Amino acid sequence: MSDLGSAPGGRIAHLESGERLLAGRYRVEQLLGRGGMAEVHLGMDQRLGRRVAIKLLRSSLANDPTFRLRFRQEAQSASRMTHPTIVRVFDAGEETVLESGGGEAQLPFIVMEFVDGKLLKDLIKDGPMTAAEAGHIVSGILTALEYSHEAGVVHRDIKPGNVMVTRSGQVKVMDFGIARAISDSSATVAQTTAILGTAQYFSPEQAKGETVDPRSDLYSTGIVLSEMLTGVPPFRGDSPIAVAYQHVSEPPMPPSALNPRVTEGMDAVVLRALEKDKNHRYQSADEFRADVEAVVAGRTPAARLPVIDPTTDLFGGAVETPESTVRQLAFDDFEHVTTSNRPPIAWIWAGVLCVAVVVLAVALWVISLSTGGFGADRRTVPSGLAGSTETSAVTALDKLDLHPLVHHTANTEVPSGEVVRTSPGGGAAVQQNTTVEVWVSTGVPKVTVPTLKSLSLEAAQQAITTAGLTNGSITTQHSPDVPKNVVIGADPSDGTSVPTGSSVNLTISDGQVQLSSEIGKPKSEASADLTDLGLTPDVVGIGGCGAASDVIIGQQQPAGAVPQGSTVTLNVCDGS
């Protein structure tokens, strides 16, 4: 695979079928989807023989040199992130193409992993999801964000159109880094209506043009979670500006207001994620995921519903006037000036509270000296949880008044459904009500057998190893039309989902066909038989055999295996 951004320039080659060839190796096939800024096509990497997805940027962005540079840099950054929940970027580059007016233009492209599944935005069209369904998908998104945030990459464009769910239920987040390149270009909320869909998932700081950090991705994920639970995004409007106003100034409705099946715990999680002040939101993807998994498991999340204050808006935020919202979006800095010269009453109560806390702490310290400390009510994490089932592990912890927090992870050694490890580990002494993290195996991770049919043996074996599979046995078979050493079929067959490392057996052509005896058949029938096998019949008349006849009386090549395309000589009586 070539280095990202190093694909050779040159005009796109046109194949006989009308399809295009990028960088001399990527065949661009049918259109899979079209967005405001790019088209995504199905493609084939002819060098490795694998299906890929190819993103082609629109010419309005492709003609901007600054954007092309940032686009390349971000594609390089995204290519370094390899995680099961992230759609991989294999390659990127530019092609010189001829425009309709005769001029030349640079067309940036990105070659990505092809995911056989459905976009989350299409799944949402089917209506609200259950808490379990939404929880599974958002956990996958947060797992991807946790990985990217640790790598220093902020997605900036989390939305249902950038999330795919495979046929096996695997969540895949795509377009890492692409949103950053776009956000750094000259487009703004006020300048284009092409980003209306994205504006629905903006964080308040994005809407105000402020610097974003990982917590902006968590806000957008909260929007997606709310939409999965209700079927509609929490903020909607006729223009990006109208939606941006709502992100900055209007409190979100709890999902249960639209879907009564949503629990109070899930409401609390969504509203915590959608806090206007990013310091009040979830501070990490791991913290967000822990609360989601707690709700799905029927436990109480750490998040709590906001306290309703009748002097403020519905959920405790200060009521903003349209003027204040406009000024915020215009990036004006303003603050309220305190005119009173007396200490705020809140300061007085804060001082009283501090004194009370100190007194209480001293009292507890004295009590602890007389009772031998506060460790009397401690629990020991069971040692036999590793290898047990998820249900038995959760039950054992619940009986000890410990709170299990279950994580699911692929594992090549521990069978699916069994506990891999716990934290704290077995034998650890902990306080009652401590949360114990439990990692449960989902079994060996699965991959899809690539398209191998019609590839050469060498290319097929390379595609198998690239997909994380193992080359198995090779069987030869006669074929009238498949060239020698080209794959006829595979076992498991193309497109099958199998565990990583599985063996794939190949059947290839030996370049021969099975010739049968044509003696005793009419000349026309014998000739047709040979033609069907890709052979060339050569009918020769001979004498001394009686009256002239069209019946085959001799065959120069004996029945058996013969090379493809061979000429077979047949004899008939010519009456001489």
Catalytic hit among 91, 157, 217, 267 = 157
What gap in Å lies between CA 288 and CA 215, rounded to an integer? 10
Q: Any catalytic annotation for residue 157?
A: yes
Q: How many residues does the chain have?
A: 576
Q: Is the peptide bond before 522 cis (omega within 30 degrees of 0)?
A: no
**Coil, strand or helix at 60:** helix
Instruction: Provide φ and ψ at 456, rounded to 5°.
Output: -70, 160
State in Å, rounded, how far the first CA of the chain is from the last one.
68
What gap in Å lies between CA 278 and CA 120, rounded to an integer? 26
Beta strand 567-573 pairing with 554-555: antiparallel
CB 294 within 8 A of CB 405: yes
What gap in Å lies between CA 291 and CA 267, rounded to an integer? 11
Which residues touch 227 (CB under 8 Å, ≥6 apart)? 124, 160, 233, 234
Q: Of the candidates 104, 102, 105, which has an alpha carbon nearest to the alpha carbon of residue 67?
A: 105
Which residues touch 291 (CB under 8 Å, ≥6 apart)? 268, 269, 272, 282, 301, 302, 303
Output the six-digit token pair for 412. Answer: 């090549």
Q: Of the candidates 166, 148, 167, which has an alpha carbon nearest to the alpha carbon of residue 157?
A: 148
DSSP secondary structure letter of residue 575: -
Output the six-digit token pair for 159. Answer: 């939305």
456 forms beta bridges with: 486
Give one word for 345, left, alpha or beta, with left for phi > 0 and alpha for psi -120 to 50: alpha
Exposure pattern of 99-136 as b/e (b: 16+ CB <10 Å)? eeeeeeebbbbbbbebbebebbbebbeeebbebebbbb
What gap in Å lies between CA 542 and CA 189, rounded to an integer? 88
What gap in Å lies between CA 407 and CA 421, rounded to an integer? 10
Task: Please classify residue 344 by burial: count the beta carbons closer than 10 Å to its beta carbon, then call 0-12 exposed, 13-18 middle and 19+ buried.
Answer: exposed
Return the active site residues. 157
